[in-house]
Structure 1
Amino acid sequence: MIRLALFLILAFAAACSKPQPVVPEGVEQLTVTLSPEEERILATWQLPKAATEFSFNEDDMPVSQRESDWTPAGEGWVFDGQTLSREDGSAFQEFSFTLPAASMFYDRYYVPVSKVGKGGWVIFANTLAPAEGDFEVRFDGLPESNVIYGEGEITSPNEPRDGNTLGIFYIGPAENLSMEGGILIAGPEIPDAIRNDISGNLENAVTKLTDAWGYAPEIPPAVIITYDQNWHGQSWKGGVLEEVITFHLRGMDLSGDTSEFTDHLRNTSLHEAIHVWNGTLFESSENSEQSWVHEGAAEYIANRLWMDDATFNAAVQKALNGCILQLGDHSIRGTEIASRGQTPYRCGHVVHLAAELSALKHTGKNVLGVWKDVYDAAGDERVYDSATFVTAAEADGGTPFSDIMNLFNKGLTPENRAALVADLVALGADIVPLTPESETPYETTLSVRVLRDLLIGYCEGGYGFTQTQEGFALETAQRCGDALAGDPLVSRLNGHDLLKTPVAAYFAAREACQAGEPLVLTRPDGPALEPLDCPEGLAALPELYDVRSAGTLPPL
């Protein structure tokens, strides 16, 4: 990985920064000035005219988080997390808050403020925004050697930025920023092995995808990694906004073997980088309705870019079995099932395997060639839909792909599941029925499915549980009957470990239910819960498959 020298970064900033928006005379605009300190940021809002209250944009940060983390500077303020005013009701034109690094992660929200190394910060600009109106972000007290990264631009601290479009941006030392293919921002606390891996694979992906597709992203992907080992527990949160991919790592020890975790970061960063093409440079007109197209493409191509044969075979097995379990006999065109949760990722992955195997046999094209045809057919507006993809895949893959796509359109009934596997085998894959002895990685989803169906049967149609290092903590309270009351932690089902041997646990549940025998859950410390009769759903658990080979696929 090439680490840019400071003068090169600043030269890049001078060469690439575009003129900042100038507020015409007579137009009022709010300004937020950021002054980073060692453990916090002092943010000062200057209003175009005096007001008796100020309200923040409420869409991009939980009110409770802003209320608990952000503190008004000075005395005499009233703040409820949304609206700021003076205790005496007087007007004001300027106010400040101290902004620490976020103390918690919230689902479906970006992290508002986080530290990067020593002196670096990552900020989500939308959390600074007023409820209405535009705003500009300025910087104060930063060394001249610091840089600002946002919207694909690197600028110096003395240049203001448009807060309305800044998105997720970085403030801090230039040495935390590296460029090779894409941009990587991380402090020295992130091991070189992780930094080099993410940066190198991102560069490789950007080069390959640009060469294969003939379209270069207007803004190259950027990966930002933050880390705090002294977090309360272990956690991590990923996200993507436009070209910026973020990983916030907390509480984990990065000094030991991080290979498995690095694999996950690598795949996620590549997945999101592919969305720079199929979600930003080009756009699906069915983004929510048929998400198996772009999500399946991103996951499949990300896997193909870095996985060896054994790892890829395991990924295909996870996708195939996950699709069978989640889609069931519903059509892949049905938005409520096929484009929710993990279903579009799993089923879209299998569709893309079929598209590539078919195209390699029919026209010699790989999956990148199929998507090149999708992009070329998108027109000047660069908009595609599921029909654009299917048309390209059928043209490249012929009847074999059409037959498989028809199975997905109809739904994976038992008959269609068998036909799907037979068609993939005819294209060169080696797939056989899964057996209790076929333990493979990535299959804890099977334990999850068993517990889900079990709880749905006993808990009035609802279910909830959390995976821990010891097993699964069931969220049952008193609504699931006496045998499951009290949120028990369970680790085994009919003698099989739910974490270590999930395939055997899946078969044990399936076979017991088909034979009319009870299910017995056991706690990690030994005692078993009362035997449970099988709910109807568990008896209908489908046959699953062992992917010994996904077929002959040349490297991308």
Structure 2
Amino acid sequence: MRSALAVLGAILAAMVLASCVTPKPGPGQTVRIVVRPTETGLSASYGLPGPATRFPFRDFAGDIRTDAWSTATPGAAIVDAAVTFSAPTTAFQIAISPDTSQRDRIYPALTPIGAGWLIYAPHLLPAEVGGLVHDVDFSLPEGWVVIGRRDSKGELVLDGWVYAGPESPVERGAADVVTAPETPAWLRAEVLKAANDSAAVFTGRLGVSLTSRPGIIIAHFPKERSGGMRGDVTPGAMVSVRFYGEAWSKQAPGDAEQVHEFLAHETFHFWNGDMVDSAENSDRPWLHEGGASYAALLALDPTPAPESVPLLKGINENLGKCQSALEEGQSLMTADMRGGDTPYACGVVLQWAWDAGLRATSGGKRDVLSLWKDVIAEALRANREYSVASTLRHVPREAAKAADVLLNGTGADRWTAFADALRGYGAVLAPARVVDEDRATALMHILGQYCNGQRGFYTRPTHLQLDTGDRCGPLNGDKEFDAVAGHDVIKDVSAMYDRIREICAASGVIEFTRNRTVVASAPCTKPLKAPTLYLRVTRAFGAG
């Protein structure tokens, strides 16, 4: 572990209590919170400085609390972001169970890590207001430890991830690494190598070392059917990476590259989301997230050729999604892009536009990581925040043409103008069908005829898995399949789309098969639209 993290080693409140019967709190009033593990999660006991009829929490996360939290305190009820009391109360207790699902852009409150727990501490704290102090005590069994960001005095800051659990899965060195026991050895090794390698790239290119000792919490949940992976960074270079589904138990072709890109994205957030952060994260997350995603592509190939396969793959995957999501009457600056994949997709396209422009206008001496170096340096000299406006100050006008179209352009000719501007920087792109969009459009067209509520599918290396549960009639059961309408869902997607379109036009039956055995079928009675053409890139920028 020490050798794998050598580079990371080298780079190394207030609270509110609102009550209709309590006067505004004065100095020295303390909310005392005691956290204890239970057989099913955590227990949090709250002692208040005075009687209250309502206790609002710091972070909203209302659906987490109403879903996985409960209270047995007489007269108490959990409602969205608060606990209410039928009569003035000075103490109450909450039982916290693990989150039942992963929510978009909301940190999970409680995640099992072997016998211990990963806690997002801010969800436990009351809303902030002057006058109150707080004291949080972890009452733990013998042999348990607490790992999280600490201040200069060694006190827990409680502004992000906290691991509370047995010492046995903790390795201390250049970073504090906590590995859940279900995590395969190959996966742990790739996570740490990816963190180390990407940190080395970013430290060198951004010109500033991390000031926090990182904490990395790695977990695998093989029984989770959802598949995929999730990651979140909190202050103090604390990162949680979580892998879902049996598929991660054994390494498959392409898994290492996927893990490395994923970890590079999260590692970049040590700089653009921890050391400094976007002042516009709530409304324009695409600057923060797209920056990390494109930086991850460059970490995979730090000196990419214009035809770099990993770089082109990443650009094209995101370009198709962004074109699909960005409506004709909206620019990136005016569109609501706060959920799903869209902030990442359009954010990557913006970063690529800046990257191509900077490379072309500097003779290859500058790129988007040079831009981030300047943005981060300026933020460190000021209030540790950056924005779209502060970023644009570091992009010469000639290098910003394509990005300006994306940021501010609207109308039917927006993407044509975008492509023309990028061609001016040496990129090569033309309209074409996009496999991911063909696949998603065709399958969601079928699911849309039967599903009530959540529907979708997960992509595996060699096949797909429906996310239908009991909500989609003949397509219920989360079936796994490798072909639809006789065509491979990974290798023959456009032909699959065309065949589905023919079947739907004739009101025929669509068959889902696995190893040539039918696993599900459903009539398609609504016509499928002609395939959409999206810009596809074959050269990312000029030779420089």
Q: Within 5 Å, which residues of 2 pair with 1:382-397?
A: 382-394=384-396
Q: Supply the distance in 1 between the matched residues of 2:505 and 2:231 (Cα, whole angstroms).
A: 43
Q: Supply the distance in 1 between the matched residues of 2:3 and 2:146 (Cα, whole angstroms).
A: 17
Question: Structure 1 residues 151 and 500, CA, compared in 2 at 3 Å: closer, same or farther?
Answer: same
Q: CA deviation at 1:486?
A: 4.5
2:438 alignment counterpart: 446
Asked if the contact 1:238/1:248 (under 8 Å) is kept, the reply is yes
Q: Within 5 Å, which residues of 2 pair with 1:282-321?
A: 282-306=276-300, 309-321=308-320
Q: CA deviation at 1:302?
A: 1.2
1:45 is the counterpart of 2:45: yes
Per the alignment, in what secondary structure is the counterpart of residue 335 of structure 1? coil
Which among 190, 199, 206 is matched to residue 199 of structure 2? 206
Query: RMSD between aligned alpha carbons?
Result: 4.7
Question: Structure 1 residues 268 and 180, CA, compared in 2 at 3 Å: closer, same or farther?
Answer: farther
Q: CA deviation at 1:66?
A: 1.0
Asked if the contact 2:474/2:522 (under 8 Å) is kept, the reply is no
1:366 alignment counterpart: 367
Which among 103, 107, 110 is matched to residue 103 of structure 2? 107
1:2 is the counterpart of 2:2: yes
Percent of counterpart pairs with the same letter? 19
Which among 212, 236, 246 is matched to residue 240 of structure 2? 246
Q: Supply the distance in 1 between the matched residues of 2:144 and 2:421 (Cα, whole angstroms).
A: 57
Question: Structure 1 residues 353 and 174, CA, compared in 2 at 3 Å: closer, same or farther?
Answer: same
TM-score (norm 1): 0.71
Q: String of CA shifts for 1:437-456, please: whole Å, max 9, x gaps.
A: x8xxxx43432234557888
2:22 alignment counterpart: none
1:523 is the counterpart of 2:514: no
TM-score (norm 2): 0.72
Q: Supply the distance in 2 between the matched residues of 1:232 and 1:407 (Cα, whole angstroms).
A: 37
Question: Structure 1 residues 368 and 522, CA, compared in 2 at 3 Å: closer, same or farther?
Answer: same
1:466 alignment counterpart: 456
Which among 266, 272, 278 is matched to residue 266 of structure 2? 272
Gaps of 5+ in 2: 13-25, 513-517
Q: Supply the distance in 1 between the matched residues of 2:27 and 2:144 (Cα, whole angstroms).
A: 32
Per the alignment, in what secondary structure is the counterpart of residue 314 of structure 1? helix
Asked if the contact 2:360/2:542 (under 8 Å) is kept, the reply is no
Q: CA deviation at 1:2?
A: 1.0
Asked if the contact 2:147/2:162 (under 8 Å) is kept, the reply is yes
Question: Structure 1 residues 214 and 542, CA, compared in 2 at 3 Å: closer, same or farther?
Answer: same
Q: String of CA shifts for 1:117-141, please: whole Å, max 9, x gaps.
A: 35x3322223444578653222345
2:30 alignment counterpart: 29
Which among 518, 533, 543 is matched to residue 543 of structure 1? 533
In terms of mean alpha carbon deviation, does 264-273 or 318-327 score higher? 264-273
Question: Structure 1 residues 343 and 231, CA, compared in 2 at 3 Å: closer, same or farther?
Answer: closer
1:137 alignment counterpart: 136
Q: Within 5 Å, which residues of 2 pair with 1:121-270?
A: 121-129=117-125, 134-143=133-142, 146-152=144-150, 161=156, 165-174=158-167, 176-178=169-171, 183-229=176-222, 237-242=230-235, 243-252=237-246, 254-257=248-251, 260-261=254-255, 263-270=257-264
Asked if the contact 1:148/1:154 (under 8 Å) is kept, the reply is no
Per the alignment, in what secondary structure is the counterpart of residue 257 of structure 1? coil
The total of aligned residue pairs comes to 494
Question: Structure 1 residues 325 and 505, CA, compared in 2 at 3 Å: closer, same or farther?
Answer: farther
Question: Structure 1 residues 92 and 532, CA, compared in 2 at 3 Å: closer, same or farther?
Answer: closer
Q: String of CA shifts for 1:27-52, please: whole Å, max 9, x gaps.
A: 33233334447x45664636256869
Which among 58, 64, 67 is matched to residue 64 of structure 1? 67
Asked if the contact 1:121/1:171 (under 8 Å) is kept, the reply is yes
Q: String of CA shifts for 1:374-420, please: whole Å, max 9, x gaps.
A: 3345552344332332342335xx35x4255336532473x553454
2:113 alignment counterpart: 116
Per the alignment, in what secondary structure is the counterpart of residue 69 of structure 2? helix
Q: CA deviation at 1:433?
A: 4.6
Q: CA deviation at 1:314?
A: 1.3
Structure number with bigger Rg: 1
Q: Supply the distance in 2 between the matched residues of 1:233 and 1:451 (Cα, whole angstroms).
A: 17
Question: Structure 1 residues 116 and 154, CA, compared in 2 at 3 Å: closer, same or farther?
Answer: farther
Q: Supply the distance in 1 between the matched residues of 2:357 and 2:88 (Cα, whole angstroms).
A: 71
Q: String of CA shifts for 1:63-84, please: whole Å, max 9, x gaps.
A: 23112xx7x6xxx967655659
**What is the one-letter code of the residue matched to 1:151?**
R
**What is the one-letter code of the residue matched to 1:504?**
A
Q: CA deviation at 1:301?
A: 0.5
2:332 alignment counterpart: 333
Q: Supply the distance in 2 between the matched residues of 1:35 and 1:407 (Cα, whole angstroms).
A: 50
Q: CA deviation at 1:305?
A: 0.6
Per the alignment, in what secondary structure is the counterpart of residue 29 of structure 2? coil
1:346 alignment counterpart: 345
Asked if the contact 2:358/2:395 (under 8 Å) is kept, the reply is yes
Q: CA deviation at 1:318?
A: 0.7
Gaps of 5+ in 1: 6-11, 17-24, 478-484
Q: String of CA shifts for 1:104-129, please: whole Å, max 9, x gaps.
A: 225254333333235x3322223444
Asked if the contact 2:32/2:47 (under 8 Å) is kept, the reply is yes
**What is the one-letter code of the residue matched to 2:146?**
I
